Chains A and B, each alone.
Chain A
Amino acid sequence: MGIMRMGYAHVRVTDMAEAKDHYASTMGLYETRSDTTAEGAQRVFYKGWDEWDHHSVVLEEGGVGVVKYGWKVEHETDIDDIEAKATAFGLTVERMSTGENPEIGDGIRFTTPSDHVFEVYHQATAYGTEVGTHNPDAFPRHLVGVGAPALDHSLITAEDPARMEKMLIDVFGFYATERVQTSLDADHDLVGTWMTSNNQIHQLAVIGGPQGKLHHFAFRLDNWNDVGRAADLMTMDDVPIDVGPTRHGITRGQTVYFFDPSGNRNEVFAGGYLAFPDRPTTVWTVDQLGKGIFYHARELNERFTTVLT
């Protein structure tokens, strides 16, 4: 099937001690590794309790924003397939070897038309979920804080969202579940696109904006109650909430947006509907974007479009 999921989001943080407090104590992720890069930057690797691969979030000290994303493919041969498609699309692809990323196997690396670095791999060290695979309980008894089970998706910005959408279709085999357009006419401009390769409502969304920037990366929760509880915990831990709890019109997901201690925007996301490749793409016109993003307030706040890292 090609791309199965976003395997990891690797982001920069300005202060590792504060970042660890946020991602481990508030979000409840499990630290699986800590090391220092050849350049001397400290790194910490995390996984959610319901993820089985070694890590899904990597923090690297020094700055803000996204370093790169990892995408896990189903079959080893998918890497060659995506390499060929990326080359045909006009991208410069390099091979990456086992160990370039700890606990991650061979793969390819390329820079997208939006100036983000993508890595595609098949093998990752299996760590196991917290509840195991044999007669598992529904959740771990001693979760910390929000206890986020897994990384869910990310939203990035690009000067030309339409070209990123085409890349994600041609190279990754993604399809758009929802789009925001300037009009319903054939000559519309694409404002944003929500894309996936499977039943997950979106794995990566792209909206118009500067090159190479991070809007947010999101953690998956089960339902409204969990979203509300996460918001309560953020208040207890003095985490700045950007918006929510509210619902998205786009994807119908339930959400809270908030900021990590470096200013990277995070989200907790629950609900939404199942995606299928033959489902008609939902289209929003830009005059209804407020309702599309924040279904209840029906208007965008200034931060949503201006705060990027």
Chain B
Amino acid sequence: MPNVSIPALDEVIYLGPDETLLSGLYKAGYSYTVGCKRGGCGICKVDVLDGDFSYNRPIAATVISAEERTDGTCLSCRAVPDSDVTIQMRDDEMRLVNPFLRQINEKARRRAEALAAGTDMEQ
């Protein structure tokens, strides 16, 4: 259950199992400009600076070039992190549009960390 770090926002988001980057960030209250959300247009690209991801469903070969498949370019709508990842936005900024979802995500992340460390989460 990976964390997504966004250094530009000094932010860490917790993703559920098999959750795509886009879906996870939206569920955590964040939004940014996306297109088809279906791996066909390339509007939702972000750069993965650190960590690994894989695509859970087919994406169009025309959207990601051979070079982009190895340089960290990530089609966030269909990318599922395989480990903790650090990402950087491109032209568009990520905006917090639902602070309540952000709070819920923060709690879930701390709960998971506590579980992993074998300690109870403080209430």
Q: Is residue A28 contacting chain B, with contact meaning CB distance below 8 A?
A: no
Evaluate contact between B60 and A15: CB separation under 8 angstroms.
no
Q: How far is the CB of B75 from chain A (nearest CB, A)?
A: 10
- B33's partner among A240, A302, A309 (CB-CB below 8 A) is A302
Q: Is residue B43 contacting chain A, with contact meaning CB distance below 8 A?
A: yes
B: contact size bracket: 10 to 19
Q: How far is the CB of A241 from chain B (nearest CB, A)?
A: 10
Residues of A within 8 A of B36 (CB): 240, 242, 259, 263-265, 303, 307, 309
Q: Give the distance in Å from the alpha carbon of A65 to the alpha carbon of B61 in the complex.
A: 11
Residues of A within 8 A of B34 (CB): 303
- B38's partner among A65, A240, A306, A308 (CB-CB below 8 A) is A240
Q: How far is the CB of A279 from chain B (nearest CB, A)?
A: 35
Q: Is residue B2 contacting chain A, with contact meaning CB distance below 8 A?
A: no
Q: Is residue A63 contacting chain B, with contact meaning CB distance below 8 A?
A: yes
Q: Is residue A262 contacting chain B, with contact meaning CB distance below 8 A?
A: yes
Q: Give the distance in Å from the alpha carbon of A124 to the alpha carbon of B41 in the complex.
A: 33
Q: Is residue B40 contacting chain A, with contact meaning CB distance below 8 A?
A: yes
Q: Give the distance in Å from the alpha carbon of A262 to the alpha carbon of B35 in the complex.
A: 12
Evaluate contact between A14 and B59: CB separation under 8 angstroms.
yes
User: Using a Cβ cutoff of 8 Å, how many contacts connect chains A and B?
Assistant: 66
Which residues of A, 20-65, contact B by the 8 Å Cβ criterion? 63-65
> B79-116 interface mask toward A, CB cutoff 8 Å, 1 = contact, 0 = none?
00000000000000000000000000000000000000
Evaluate contact between B43 and A14: CB separation under 8 angstroms.
no
Q: How far is the CB of A26 from chain B (nearest CB, A)?
A: 13
Q: How far is the CB of B63 from chain A (nearest CB, A)?
A: 7
Q: How far is the CB of B51 from chain A (nearest CB, A)?
A: 25
Evaluate contact between B41 and A309: CB separation under 8 angstroms.
yes
Q: Give the distance in Å from the alpha carbon of A303 to the alpha carbon of B62 in the complex.
A: 18
Residues of B within 8 A of A14 (CB): 39-40, 57-60
Evaluate contact between A307 and B59: CB separation under 8 angstroms.
no
Complex: chain B residue closest to A304, CB-CB: B35
Q: Is residue A260 contacting chain B, with contact meaning CB distance below 8 A?
A: yes
- A63's partner among B33, B43, B61 (CB-CB below 8 A) is B61
Residues of A within 8 A of B60 (CB): 12, 14, 63-65, 262-263, 309
Q: How far is the CB of A65 from chain B (nearest CB, A)?
A: 7
Residue among B36, B39, B60, B62 having the largest count of chain A Cβ atoms under 10 Å? B36
Q: How far is the CB of B47 from chain A (nearest CB, A)?
A: 18
Residues of A within 8 A of B63 (CB): 64, 263
Evaluate contact between A15 and B57: CB separation under 8 angstroms.
yes
- A307's partner among B41, B58, B61 (CB-CB below 8 A) is B41
Q: Give the distance in Å from the alpha carbon of A166 to the alpha carbon of B19 in the complex.
A: 49
Q: Is residue A192 contacting chain B, with contact meaning CB distance below 8 A?
A: no
Known A-B contacts A14-B40, A308-B41, A309-B40; the reply to A263 vs B62 at CB < 8 A is no
- B35's partner among A12, A260, A307 (CB-CB below 8 A) is A307
Complex: chain B residue closest to A12, CB-CB: B60
The 4 A-B pairs of least Cβ separation, nearest first, read A263-B40, A263-B36, A307-B35, A14-B58
Chain A residues within 8 Å of B, Cβ to Cβ: 12, 14-15, 18, 63-65, 240, 242, 259-265, 302-303, 306-309
22 CB contacts below 8 A, A to B, read A14-B60, A15-B57, A18-B57, A63-B62, A64-B40, A64-B60, A64-B62, A64-B63, A242-B36, A259-B35, A259-B36, A259-B38, A259-B40, A261-B38, A263-B36, A263-B41, A303-B33, A306-B43, A307-B35, A307-B36, A309-B40, A309-B41
